[in-house]
Amino acid sequence: MQVPQDGEDLAGQPWYHGLLSRQKAEALLQQDGDFLVRASGSRGGHPVISCRWRGSALHFEVFRVALRPRPGRPTALFQLEDEQFPSMPALVRSYVTGRRPLSQATGAVVSRPVTWQRPLRRSFSEDTLMDGPARTEPLRARKWSNSQPADLAHMGQSSEDPTGIEAFATPVSALPRTGSDPVLLKAPAPLGTVANSLRASDGQLQAKAPAKPPRTPSFELPDASERPPTYCELVPRVPCVQGTSLSQSCPEPEAPWWEAEEDEEEENRCFTRPQAEISFCPPDTPSCLLGPQNRPLEPQVLHTLRGLFLEHHPGSTALHLLLVDCQATGLLGVTRVQRDNMGVSSGLELLTLPHGCRLRLELLERHETLALAGALAVLGCSGPLEERAAALRGLVELALALRPGAAGDLPGLAAVMGALLMPQVRGEQGVEEAGVRVTGKTGEEACAGLFSQVSRLEHTWRQLRRSHTEAALAFEQELKPLMRALDEGVGPCDPGEVALPHVAPTVRLLEGEEVAGPLDESCERLLRTLHGARHMARDAPKFRKVAAQRLRGFRPNPELREALTTGFLRRLLWGSRGAGAPRAERFEKFQRVLGVLSQRLEPDS
């Protein structure tokens, strides 16, 4: 059998059943949305996605495109119709979490994997495991030696009298099945029989432990919100105890905090006297990607992050970034205690008030840190030119997924565009635009120190235009004009197409940054920024509803979600010790690092 080599442990995926016939696969698909991945014997072991949609069983062969081995890219790509993925698990995750149709012709959407169970060790013949009509004849009796300890299910039964085994015989059709392999469960013997059968003459000094149950049974819990489950929403299926209802033995999972309904009383509350300054940064918890003490830019962590981002579609990454940005801005997940302390109901209102200084500084820090991390994604590619061009294309695709009408995360869009327009990345064309986006006194000093690197990565951008023309055109003709309009206060900002508004101009202005440009133009921009801040605070409940609607049914990857938080990025870029240094010192140091990386990639001629 040909097992697809996709860089991940495909055999370890719960939805991969290995070599399985079409008929057996269809028997496992019970409801619309059920799916599994199998290796087709008639197709030479190629992966096939089998699913049930609108009452019919459908089968989709996944095409595997082999690539020449090159550093920094997968050995093969997997695709159904148009989009290609670096691995089979990445393809499955994209279609399941995004609820995208497997094909345009059928419109089939998969949401519920049929998990495969590894077979348990059995003491029965394989003859009893054959699929077919229900069999009511008893299982064959085994001869038990009185000189060996016996199983609890057969104690006290004579080898000449098989009636004890027949009494516990169960039809094969009544035995529970999980996944693509049946599992036989022995019925326990009555306690009285066990007690009477423990005799020293039989050597039964210690009873044999019963077989372990399957690790992942196949019964599904109902979802409280009646939403169709997605790949990340899988609940282990467990059989209920006889005589108890499913709701009694298996409590329904709670909805995530970003889907919690807002009380009308909280939504319509008036301003109250603030008690303290509020921070929406999540508390420090043990990281699943970084150790307790880490050094700056650890190669192993960077390699892990690169693989993590390659696994996710830009649309999925955009939703992860929207979730983290909503929490950092105080739009979603605000507790009652935080509302009472800050006197308003959301961070969009707080950042316009005098006691929102701490929040404004945190948002500036997040914007600049995300931009530096995005630039590092390109400048850290030490491989061939095509690898850096692919990294640029990935940032452009992420920016397109964040724009209004898509995820609608404008702070995330501004950070990604800040990385693309950074002088070390963009070159001469990015100097002026980068100066608009670098914030505060620290940003001005940084920009002045980086303008000497005005010819950076020109070959990489030229390669992007040759190899990824569509992405290059989208960047030049759509993203750059959009970002310029947003910075000038004339871009789209209505709730609906925007889930989280562009807060950077307001934050910079309230923190004392002067508006650049001629006096008349700067005054007009100042008035537009103040007008936009007033509307942003007024429409905060509408933005909250739009953001919650964008994230409804979304289940994030914990590692990717952590990788996009400000605290993680700060430790990644400056290390556990350097993360606590003054902000101006940290940014000045890392700008020198980016300058060195840029010079190494494309030295000055």
Among the ranges 35-49, 214-228, 251-265, 441-455, which has the highest mean pLDDT value? 35-49
Cα 469 to Cα 475: distance, rounded to the nearest angstrom:
10
Backbone angles phi, psi at 190, to 5 degrees: -60, 150
Most confident of 37-41, 250-254, 425-429: 37-41
Fold of 7-113: SHC Adaptor Protein (3.30.505)
Model confidence pLDDT, tens digit, residues 338-352:
888 888 889 999 999
> In the predicted model, is pLDDT for residue 208 greater than 50?
no
pLDDT tens profile 359-384: 999 999 999 999 999 999 999 888 88
Percent above pLDDT 90 for the chain: 34
Q: Per-residue pLDDT for 7 more than 50?
A: no
pLDDT top residue among 591 and 68? 591
Beta strands 34-39; 112-113: pairing state: parallel
Distance of CA 462 to the CA centre of its chain: 32
pLDDT band at 99 (very low <50, low <70, confident <90, very high): confident
pLDDT at 531 over 90: yes
Average pLDDT over residues 157-186: 40
pLDDT digits 0-9 by tens, 20-77: 888 889 999 998 899 999 988 776 778 899 999 888 889 888 888 777 777 777 788 8
Position 327, amino acid: Q
Q: Which of 33, 9, 28 is nearest to 110 (CA)?
A: 33
| HSE, side-chain direction, 13 A CA sphere, residue 4 | 33
pLDDT of 105? 80
Pick from 24-28, 36-40, 92-96, 188-192: least confident: 188-192
* Cβ atoms within 10 Å of 291's Cβ, excluding its own: 12
Model pLDDT, residue 329: 95
Question: With 50 as the cut, is the pLDDT of residue 192 above it?
Answer: no
Q: Which residue has the higher pLDDT, 603 or 254?
A: 603
CA within 13 Å, CB half, 360: 22
pLDDT of residue 136: 40
At which residue do the structure tokens 């693309």 appear? 420
Q: Which whole number is the average pLDDT over 257-283? A: 68
Predicted TM-score of the model (pTM): 0.58
The pLDDT assigned to 204 comes to 41
Cα angle vertex 322, ends 492, 576, to 5°? Answer: 130
- Report yes or no: 481 and 490 within 8 Å, Cβ to Cβ: no
| Helix, strand, or coil (residue 34) | strand
Q: Per-residue pLDDT for 97 more than 80?
A: yes
Domains of the chain by residue range: 7-113, 299-428+455-601
Query: CA-CA distance, 492 to 405, in Å (whole number)?
Result: 10
Answer yes or no: is pLDDT of 602 > 50: yes
List, for residues 314-327, the tens digit of each pLDDT value. 999 999 999 999 99
For position 255, what pLDDT does the model report?
58
CATH superfamily of 299-428+455-601: Ras guanine-nucleotide exchange factors catalytic domain (1.10.840.10)
Asked whether the domain spanning 299-428+455-601 has the same topology as the one spanning 7-113, the reply is: no
- Give the pLDDT mean for 95-103: 87
pLDDT at position 119 is: 53
Whether the CA torsion 394, 397, 401, 403 is positive or negative: it is: positive
φ, ψ of residue 38 to 5 degrees: the values are -135, 165
Interval 90-119 mean pLDDT: 84
Q: Are 484 and 434 in contact (CB under 8 A)?
A: no
pLDDT at residue 536 greater than cutoff 90: yes
Following DSSP, what letter does each residue of 435-486 receive, concatenated? HHHS-HHHHHHHHHHHTT-TTTTHHHHHHHHHH-HHHHHHIIIIIHHHHHHH
Greater confidence (468 vs 446) lies with 468
**Residue 426 — very low, low, confident or very high, per pLDDT cuts 50/70/90?**
low
One-letter amino acid at 491 equals G
Enumerate the β-bridge partners of residue 79.
Answer: 63, 84
pLDDT at site 78:
86
The pLDDT, as a whole number, for residue 605 is: 58
CB atoms within 10 A of CB 204: 19
Confidence of residue 417 (pLDDT cuts 50, 70, 90): very high
Q: Which pLDDT band, with edges at 50, 70 and 90, does 12 fall under? A: confident
Find tokens 């719960």 and name the residue: 14
Confidence check: pLDDT of 274 > 60: yes
